[in-house]
Chains A and B, each alone.
Chain A
């Protein structure tokens, strides 16, 4: 079917500014992704999946500029023992990065594997993204597969002694970046991957994750504090038997963030937990869009998303649990909540269930509202000053999401960031 005119024009305009990297073994995947973009067209304002978030600035040919935000907070995850992989405005920086050697992991830069024929990467790159295009189209991810210039391929074969930290530095006010990573955690292996930084004025990031049987992956991402940055990120994950995948995302500020997570539970007894905490004010617009497919027996999925909004900020949550007919004994849970600290903010949610198996327990909840007056009164009556009391209740509200992080030290560092955000606004 031909695309509507507006969509066609916008898609062509965007494509005309891009050039496909000439890389050998991924060329086929990139070409296929390009034709997906051409068939689907880039997102438009009238698309149902973009009902609550305007895709215009993510799609337009030229990225809107974003001032690099100067702040005195120490970089996230500083002081943690980790292997650093640094990208500056979307380009791998070998000087700032550690030596990419760590026992139990094999790390390759995508740009370097061009002339090699690494099978596992070929089997993953663009593959999960393509699967994730149905039943809902995610054309920005296909665009990324076709044109991403940099990224890493991480293959976890054992249990590395420290986390791998992908650091995204934003330097140029005009940077428009596409990063694509592929991660495979082999049978029985386990790793933690950290991500932090704003990356660019406009970021389009795509991660494809394959967690094999009995493997485990923890992913913790802190999206940077730059006020004017825009980001559309996609995470596609596929889970094998008895595997575990846990992800947490912290978002502080940013004029536009759209985080899409697409997870398929394909092996029996697999577990996925997705959590997110975001705090923002002013023209902050944050969108969590989640699609979890249960396609195996006795799997567990858990989504916990919390948003604190003020001064006209907008929070969006679109979450879906799809339980296929053979996915009996599914345990699905989803909660999305917004705390609105003043009268101008808004929360828009669409928490969906689609269920075809009869022996399942699925529940979802969504609430929004202001700080509980009674709780506030109680704290005030115990002599806690107003601002502190509000902060305390706000942190308590966010706690359920932060508690999804298994590592206590990392969780504590996330809470620090949230506290700082609250204190800065007194």
Chain B
């Protein structure tokens, strides 16, 4: 962190604090690339490419038909342009849609057989692919009970899943956790029953694209009455150049089950922007609960806005059963452009949806993100807490919909979206849609925009913090509502990310 290196350390500030801040404050930490031989499908998107992806994944005919149908739909669709983001036109024919490390040619039987170079990549990222290890860098985790600190990981590298940890232990509990390509082969009845039922093939331009070309992703099935014995997690890494990543995640929480799912992602720093278009579908049956947490840390581009990931994601949870519950928590710090609206369809009576979001944009990043809460059932409840932080030349938009249908008697929504602007060259925007169609529904929406409170900053400065540290602390306070909803492993990482993204934005 250049600014910190030049900062004179004041008396009374201990070196440890300064070191810790310096540690988290560097430039994008995950910008290195793994030098590895790759197999690419030819550039561009045609039916042949769709067939090739399906073939590489050894898919049955029904899956290929599904993809081809999606591809035909995609050709008729137009790219959406309503979001407050601005980027050069994407040439969808100038991308690779499939990239796989050569060493994955013969599918490894277990993670032990995976190319050490790939394993080293995850180790460097702090993601343990060995079952005895816990997530790196989590302070205090060693004191947590052994059961509580286990996290099963599905590691997705470019277009393929390298493997999934703790599969045996999870299987003993009846939980299925594997890559979606494996699920298509091993559990076709479940995939057929649920795939595309929450995000239909023709939902939107990017979802349709994903339906045609998704290469891998994670599949989770929690059987009735099971509380998943550990946190599940997928770590997405884009490594190859000019390659889009299109992952598909399908989570099914059957009656009375519970699962907490974490998602993380990073990519190397490259000059040319890369495309990421994912679809996440969650089905929640009666009395089941799903927590879905994301720390999105894709490469955001450099300080002049060069490069970065274009992140166009469709995420939706369908609370089908009565008393079902979903909680989305997201910390969005990466990506050059973010277009993402994790949504809740509250179909079951008494079902609940929650959305907690921190979106941090710096330099030339643009984020247009929010949620949709569609209340269909009686006594449904939703809560939206969104915090947008904007620095540099970035633009940050909250866009959301709260819809109370006529039959959603006694439904409740509370929305709070706040924005914080740091510096005078950025923009914070709020675009909520509120549709209330019955009078027993109660909707409250609040939004504020302000700058970092000067009194709070002064207080921190008078206690000997330098300006940057003080801003990070105030911002952390501003974000507390959201950070508290994150699982422990993520809360730590997220707090560090909040500090990173603000680097150099003061003054």
Contacts and interface: CB of A to CB of B under 8 A. Distances in A.
Interface in A218-258: none
B371 to A, nearest CB: 15
A358 B426 contact: yes
Given A363-B447, A367-B444, A357 B434 contact: no
A360 B431 contact: no
Contact of B421 (A342, A348, A358): A358
A173 to B, nearest CB: 33
Contact of B445 (A328, A341, A346, A367): A367
Given A352-B430, A365-B444, A360 B82 contact: no
Nearest to B429: A354
A357 B426 CA distance: 7
A362 interface: yes
Interface residues of A, number: 34
B421 A343 contact: no
A363 B439 contact: no
Interface in B450-482: 450-451
A350 B432 contact: yes
B421 A355 contact: yes
A342 B445 CA distance: 21
Contacts, number: 116
Given A346-B435, A347-B434, A356 B426 contact: yes
B434 A350 contact: yes
B439 A353 contact: no
A370 B441 CA distance: 8
Given A348-B435, A355-B419, A365 B424 contact: no
Nearest to A324: B427
A269 B244 CA distance: 50
Nearest to A351: B432
A340 B436 contact: yes
A346 B436 contact: yes
Given A325-B425, A358-B421, A363-B447, A353 B430 contact: yes
B7 interface: no
A348 B402 CA distance: 10
A328 B425 CA distance: 12
Contact of B447 (A328, A349, A364, A368): A364
B443 A353 contact: no
Query: What is the interface residue range for chain B against chain A?
Result: 35 or more
Interface string A119-161: 0000000000000000000000000000000000000000000
A343 B424 contact: no
A39 interface: no
Given A48-B82, A342-B439, A355 B429 contact: yes
A12 B2 CA distance: 62
Contacts of B437: 346
Given A356-B427, A358-B421, A358-B426, A368 B434 contact: yes
Contacts of B441: 368-369
A338 interface: yes
Contacts of B91: none
Contacts of A358: 421-424, 426, 451
A328 to B, nearest CB: 8
Nearest to A358: B421
Of B434, B445, B446, most buried by chain A (CB within 10 Å of CB) is: B434
A352 B449 contact: no
Nearest to B409: A343
A369 B419 CA distance: 26
A359 B449 CA distance: 9
A417 to B, nearest CB: 23
A234 B300 CA distance: 43
B57 interface: no
B440 interface: yes
B442 interface: yes
A366 interface: yes
B446 A362 contact: no
A361 B439 contact: no
Nearest to B440: A370
Contacts of A343: 406, 438-440
B414 to A, nearest CB: 10
Nearest to A309: B439
A255 B247 CA distance: 50
Nearest to B450: A361
Nearest to B451: A358
A349 B449 contact: no
B431 A352 contact: yes
Given A357-B424, A358-B423, A361-B450, A352 B429 contact: yes
B434 A355 contact: no
A74 B424 CA distance: 54
B433 A369 contact: no
B448 interface: yes
Contacts of A349: 432-435, 445
B450 A360 contact: yes
A363 B424 CA distance: 19
Nearest to B396: A355
Given A350-B432, A357-B424, A341 B447 contact: no
B428 interface: yes
Contacts of B450: 360-362
Contacts of B444: 365-367
Given A355-B421, A361-B449, A362-B449, A369 B430 contact: no
A369 B435 contact: no
B435 A362 contact: no
B442 A353 contact: no
Contacts of A354: 84, 427, 429-430
B433 A350 contact: yes
Q: Which 4 A-B pairs have the closest CB atoms?
A: A340-B439, A358-B421, A369-B442, A353-B430
Interface of A: 48, 325, 328, 338, 340-343, 345-370
11 contacts: A351-B445, A355-B421, A355-B428, A356-B427, A357-B424, A362-B448, A363-B449, A364-B445, A364-B446, A365-B444, A370-B440
Given A354-B429, A366-B445, A370-B442, 19 more contacts: A328-B424, A340-B438, A343-B439, A347-B435, A351-B434, A351-B447, A354-B427, A356-B426, A358-B424, A359-B424, A360-B421, A360-B449, A362-B449, A363-B449, A365-B444, A366-B432, A366-B434, A368-B441, A368-B443
